[in-house]
Amino acid sequence: MSNPFSNHFFSYPRKEVHMRKKISLLGATGSIGRQTIDIIHSNPEKFELESFSAGMNINKVREIASVHQPRVVSVMRREDAQSLKTEFPSIQFVHGDEGLLEVAAHTNSDVLVNAVIGSVGLTPTMEAIRVGKTIAIANKETLVAAGDIVMAEARKHNVPILPVDSEHSALFQALNGENVKRVNRLILTASGGSFRELTREDLTRVTVEQALAHPNWSMGNKLTIDSATMMNKGLEVIEAHHLFDMPYDKIDVLLHKESIIHSMVEFEDTSVMAQLGSPDMRVPIQYALTYPDRIQMQNAKPLRLEEIGQLHFEKMDFVRFKALALAYSAGKEGGTMPTAMNAANEIAVGLFLKGTIPFIRIEEMIERIMDAHQTIAHPDLQTILETDSLTRKMVYAMVELII
């Protein structure tokens, strides 16, 4: 980059958002998806839902479709698409992987909000970048599985990748207008998740229900488990590496149980810029949609530090939170290793949620997959997709052997 103050994130002119943005939304029925719909619904003069995708929650699809009347909707199964078409004849219904591509890239939207869960978000994101859509990315697995390729494609097509994840939105805001060359380190805060007070011995006895009780955030099940294992922070370290082009030795994690400071940037002169707020994902979602402007938040939960009183910080313990150590190691290795780690995590978390494996086995399985994985350096998209698919099969085969 010739001008260090203007990478492709920060080169936008400072102006108010007057245009009514058309939005495509992957994962509309999920936690981020619903909050995105909430923002669109609260600001009809600013945003319009052009197209959306969902998986199996057809009742929620009906609800969103009847209120927003989008042009195109994708669902997972063909039979759902067919029956929805009879209920909403003016909407085009598509399905499956092709449907995700159609919603993400082939409708008349300005912005793709990628809020689907898992690396299934990768191919539609690549396609949306190729046709020049701005990407608001919540779906961290896409960047973990293929960050080098996604960011290179975004640079090639001059497409902004705007962070939605709360920590990355915080870093993005703290870096706004700064010289990224003067950064000492990025400091990602971590709540510690549902089991932050437990020892590793305690973790052998925890239940799915306990794991799903996050202390600060209401999120989808997979992410809530990732937060409890601390793999979420590992995925976020890799996400930050790609989004901000930052080496791993300049990305730290700090335990901060209140989730009020969403992350920080320390500069060479020792100044630290932090972004604070009540835990409310609508704030980073809306910021990604209005950037570089800001608009009022409906039903806001303003931060009142005098009511909170104290904020707490602790050094990260990489022995206790082994999944974070695995993620740093996968990120530093690069190539297909983060792809394999991510795929192993997705399957292992799914197995834990179904009650097939105990909580502590999640990280054990990831470690075994990483030990066995032969990293391919500088993979292309096809190699990434093959690694993802092969790793999933390997995890299932491993489970057959253990149970």
Ligand X SMILES: CC(=O)[C@@H](O)[C@H](O)COP(=O)(O)O
Ligand Y SMILES: NC(=O)C1=CN([C@@H]2O[C@H](COP(=O)(O)OP(=O)(O)OC[C@H]3O[C@@H](n4cnc5c(N)ncnc54)[C@H](OP(=O)(O)O)[C@@H]3O)[C@@H](O)[C@H]2O)C=CC1
> Which residue's CB atom is positioned nearest to ligand Y?
30
Residue 64 corresponds to which amino acid? I
Q: Kindly identify the residues of this chain, within the stretch 12-41, that bind ligand Y according to CB under 6 A.
A: 27-33
Q: Is 217 in the site for ligand Y (CB under 6 A)?
A: yes
Q: Is 226 in the site for Mn ion (CB under 5 A)?
A: no
Residue 62 CA: distances (Å) to CA of 69, 81, 85, 107: 10, 11, 11, 20
141 binds, among ligand Y, Mn ion, ligand X, none (CB under 5 to 8 A by kind): ligand Y
Q: Is 335 in the site for ligand Y (CB under 6 A)?
A: no
For the chain, give the longest Cα–Cα distance.
63
Q: Would you say 134 is a known binding-site residue?
A: no
Residue 27 corresponds to which amino acid? G
Q: Kindly identify the residues of this chain, within the stretch 255-314, that bind ligand X according to CB under 6 A.
A: 281
Which two tokens mark 160?
A: 């902004």
Q: Is 140 in the site for ligand Y (CB under 6 A)?
A: yes
Q: Is 280 in the site for Mn ion (CB under 5 A)?
A: no
Q: Is 233 in the site for ligand X (CB under 6 A)?
A: yes
Cβ partners under 8 Å of residue 129, min gap 6: 135, 150, 153, 154, 157, 159
Nearest residue (CB) to ligand X, 68 versus 233: 233
Span interacting with ligand X, options 18-26, 34-42, 122-130, 187-195, rule CB under 6 A:
187-195
Distance of CA 182 to the CA centre of its chain: 26
Interface residue with Mn ion, options 127, 165, 226, 363 (CB under 5 A): 165
Cα(12)–Cα(192) distance, integer angstroms: 35
**What single-letter DSSP state applies at residue 297?**
P
* Size of residue set near ligand Y by CB under 6 A: 29
Q: Are 146 and 235 in contact (CB under 8 A)?
A: no
The DSSP bridge pattern shows strands 251-255 and 314-315 to be: antiparallel
Q: Which residues are annotated as a binding site for NADPH?
A: 29-32, 55, 57, 139, 141, 220
Q: By the criterion CB under 5 A, which residues form the site for Mn ion?
A: 165-167
Indicate the annotated binding residues: 29-32, 55, 57, 139-141, 165-167, 191, 214, 220, 227, 232-233, 236
